[in-house]
Every structure is written in C-alpha cells, then in structure tokens.
Amino acid sequence: MADSSPERPQADKDDVLELNNDLEKMTECVENMSVQLTWMAYDLVALRTSPELGALLRGLEEAYHRCRAAVCGDRSQEPELEDRAQI
C-alpha cells in the first residue's frame, strides 16, 4: 500500500500535463478554424458586394442631401445635417 501512494501524485501530474497539452492543441485548432471562418466571411462579402453598389449608394446619399436642402432650405440653416455627414 505504501508503494502505490507516492506513485499516484506523479500519475496525476502526468495526466494533468497531458490534459493541458490536449487542451492547448484543441484551443489552437479552434483558433485556426475561427481565422479561416473570418476570412471566408470576408471573401464572401467582398465577392458578393459589387463596387457599383457603393457608387450607387453614394449617389443616392448625395441626391438625398440635395433634396433635403431644397425642401428644408439652405444647408447653413441645418447644422444637424452637416454633423451627421461628418460621422
């Protein structure tokens, strides 16, 4: 009985070290998958978003500002609109 007692803490220490190594490997794998998924999502958005869409949205925003200025008066009378455009 006295022989098994000193070996047990060593066996537990080895098990803990092995568990830590396994957890580190799993964490690294999950991090790699996360990076790959992020790049896939980025590529998907980049491929599906056409450059024309951005130009059309900017044109639409400019048209909105012109219409707003025509309806509400001169832009200098609406500092709130200028503040939003800078954000």
Q: What is the pLDDT of residue 19?
A: 94
Residues 8 and 32 in one domain: yes
pLDDT single digits (tens) 33-77: 999 999 888 877 776 777 777 778 789 899 998 988 888 876 555
Residues 80 and 41 in one domain: no
Residues 67 and 85 in one domain: yes
Residues 87 and 45 in one domain: no
Residues 43 and 61 in one domain: no
Q: Which amino acid is at 85?
A: A
User: Do 55 and 61 contact (CB within 8 A), yes or no?
Assistant: no
- Domain range for 29 is 1-49
Residues 2 and 37 in one domain: yes
